Amino acid sequence: MLFTDESYQAIASAEATYHANATPPSKATFEVADALTTSPPASADLILNNPPFHTHQATTDRTALRMFRNAHRTLRQGGEFWLVGNRHLAYHVPLKRLFGNSTVIASNPKFVVLRAVKR
């Protein structure tokens, strides 16, 4: 299990939360990295993602789209990419372009959980 974020603070928080709650704890790696850029191709079966849509004070999908591309590269064939995002960001559109599919798993008026499978 790999936890990755570009923020040292986010990784420290994830590691503390994991160790406080994982029962039984499995092997986990906590890595400060940018959007899976250090992960080898076809090395993951499942990626969970909550992409940011703010970069400093600007609202943009550039970071999310880079995360989606790197997730696609990192997943093995048949691997799943799950994400939660604000509904108005319409992440299903770039996921369908990149993965060829996108399924709504859950939603409410503000948020949506999507799954895309690498074919």
pTM over 0.85: yes
Same domain assignment for residues 18 and 67: no
Domain region containing 18 = 1-33
Do 65 and 82 share a structural domain?
yes
**Phi, psi at residue 109, to the nearest 5°?**
-60, -25
| Same-domain status, 89 and 104 | yes
Per-position pLDDT tens, the chain of length 119: 899 999 999 999 999 999 999 988 788 999 999 889 999 999 999 999 999 875 556 567 888 999 999 999 999 999 999 999 999 999 999 999 999 999 999 999 999 999 999 99
- Structurally, the chain folds into a number of domains equal to 2
73 and 99 in a common domain: yes
Residue with tokens 């997730």: 71
Instruction: For residues 71 and 89, state if they share a domain.
Output: yes
